[in-house]
């Protein structure tokens, strides 16, 4: 499924098929990545994400199908193409005896044009650690250093494989700022993540890869709107209100209530048709409901539903107040 946004494609994947012996890893995968967007690739372990990234970056050739990244087949990987596409893997080995600053300066020397070393170190939150040896860095600091050497050459496309893994909240914010700045200056980012909050916060569009196929591709907001399996309608009402009829409303699957300090009842209604249930409760003159709101299952609920093929009923939704 999915509606492609209009724009210039920096990467086009068409009918990509990859097979190892008799095992199919990627099965006719097609999508586009647009200039100036953060594109997230989501999927459970074993879905084919790593193989897809390897094909996109020229490390592996597909069995059939085509890939175009910045006008070239990634398998060519000539020097000009490598300068425009920078890849940060989950794990990489840097020179342990070099300092943080020396490491970034070394990578900068590989490019005719590059960003200022201090500016990049500040961007990833390592300016004060510039004198430290690589071998003395924590795991989170080492991942930020990997990001620094990835962006120093001003690539047009950043490919980041689980970039926030192992980062503390402050370091994660640094990472997100780097990604947003790269996008805002016209760059493009492809990232994989298992963090649905990260995908929701950063990604303009996401593709969910399940069993080697694209199960969904769209903006996080549209995916949640179209595929989140349930919503929760919340409201308060008087302590003597009769709630029994609510369970008979179409789409209602569960209901919980609890007394409030003000002597009223706070009610949460789980429903598959949130907006309709909200309107019906709001119109019920016996309830005289106040503090009405509807919260929808987030991207995590969509992901679990697509990954397992089953509706997810345990999402932690974000609140959206009703307008009335």
Query: What was the pLDDT predicted at 253?
Result: 86
Residue matched to tokens 């503390």: 168
* CATH code of the domain in which 208 resides: 3.40.50.300
Burial 188-221 (b: 16+ CB within 10 A, else e): bbbbbbebbebbbebbbbbbbbbbbbbbbbbbbe
Domain final residue pick, 187, 218, 249: 218
> Are 90 and 208 found together in one domain?
yes
The answer to which of 87-91, 181-185, 252-256 has the lowest mean pLDDT is 87-91
Handedness of CA 91, 107, 35, 179 (dihedral sign): positive
Give 38 or 83, the one with higher predicted confidence: 38
- Looking up residue 271, the CATH number of its domain turns out to be 3.30.70
Please give the Cα distance from 219 to 213 (Å, whole number): 18
Cβ atoms 67, 13 nearer than 8 A: yes
Reading phi first (left if > 0) and then psi (alpha if -120 to 50, else beta), residue 201 is in alpha
Q: What would the pLDDT profile of 166-179 be if each residue is shown by its tens digit?
A: 788 888 888 898 89
The distance of Cα 238 from the centroid of its chain, to the nearest Å, equals: 41
Q: Round to whole Å and give the CA distance between 164 and 179.
A: 11
In terms of DSSP bridges, do strands 231-238 and 264-271 run parallel, antiparallel, or are they unpaired? antiparallel
Q: What is the longest distance spanned by two Cα atoms in the chain?
A: 75
Query: Is residue 190 a contact partner of residue 157, using CB atoms and an 8 Å limit?
Result: yes
The answer on 250 and 161 residing in a single domain is: no
Q: What is the mean pLDDT of the chain?
A: 88
Boundary-marking domain end, from 166, 198, 218: 218
Closest C-alpha among 150, 140, 186 to residue 38? 186
Q: Look at 54-63, 121-130, 303-312 and tell me which has the smallest mean pLDDT.
A: 303-312
| pLDDT recorded at residue 173 | 85
pLDDT (tens digit, 9 = 90+) per residue, 202-233?
Answer: 999 999 999 999 999 999 988 887 777 678 89
Whether residue 181 sits in one domain with residue 88: yes
Task: Note the pLDDT of residue 206.
Answer: 96
* Number of domains, the chain: 2
Q: Which of 119-128, 159-168, 189-198, 301-310 has the lowest mean pLDDT?
A: 301-310
Could you list the residue range(s) of the whole structural domain that residue 66 is in? 9-218
pLDDT number for residue 5: 57
Q: Are residues 57 and 183 in the same domain?
A: yes
Instruction: Please compute Rg for the chain using Cα positions.
Output: 24
* Mean pLDDT across 255-261: 92
Single pTM value for the model: 0.75
Per-residue pLDDT band for 316 (boundaries 50, 70, 90) equals: very low
Whether 116 is in a domain gets the answer: yes
């Amino acid at each position: 499924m999915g509606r492609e946004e209009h724009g210039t494609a920096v990467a086009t994947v068409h009918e990509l098929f990859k097979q190892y012996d008799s095992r199919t890893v990627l099965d006719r995968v097609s999508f586009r990545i647009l200039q100036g967007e953060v594109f997230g690739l989501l999927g459970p372990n074993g879905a084919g994400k790593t193989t897809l990234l390897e094909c996109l970056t020229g490390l592996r050739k597909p069995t059939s199908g085509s890939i175009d990244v910045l006008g070239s087949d990634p398998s060519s990987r000539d020097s000009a193409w490598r300068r425009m596409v920078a890849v940060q893997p989950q794990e990489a080995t840097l020179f342990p005896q070099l300092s943080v600053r020396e490491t970034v300066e070394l990578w900068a020397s590989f490019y005719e044009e590059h960003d200022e070393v201090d500016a990049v170190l500040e961007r990833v939150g390592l300016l004060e650690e510039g004198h430290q040896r690589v071998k003395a860095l924590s795991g989170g600091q080492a991942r930020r250093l990997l990001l620094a050497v990835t962006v120093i050459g001003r690539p047009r496309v950043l490919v980041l494989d689980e970039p926030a893994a192992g980062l503390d909240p402050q370091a994660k914010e640094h990472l997100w700022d780097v990604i947003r700045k790269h996008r805002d200056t016209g760059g493009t980012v492809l990232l994989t993540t298992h963090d649905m909050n990260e995908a929701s916060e950063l990604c303009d569009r996401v593709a969910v890869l399940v069993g080697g196929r694209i199960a969904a591709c769209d903006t996080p907001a549209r995916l949640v709107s179209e595929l989140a399996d349930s919503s929760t309608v919340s409201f308060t009402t008087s302590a003597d209100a009769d709630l029994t009829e609510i369970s008979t409303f179409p789409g209602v699957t569960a209901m919980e209530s609890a007394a409030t300090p003000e002597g009223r009842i706070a009610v949460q209604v789980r429903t598959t048709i949130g907006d309709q249930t909200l309107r019906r409760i709001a119109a019920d003159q016996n309830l005289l409901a106040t503090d009405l709101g509807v919260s929808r299952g987030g991207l995590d609920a969509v992901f679990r539903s697509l990954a397992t093929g089953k509706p997810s009923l345990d999402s932690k939704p974000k609140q959206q107040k009703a307008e009335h």
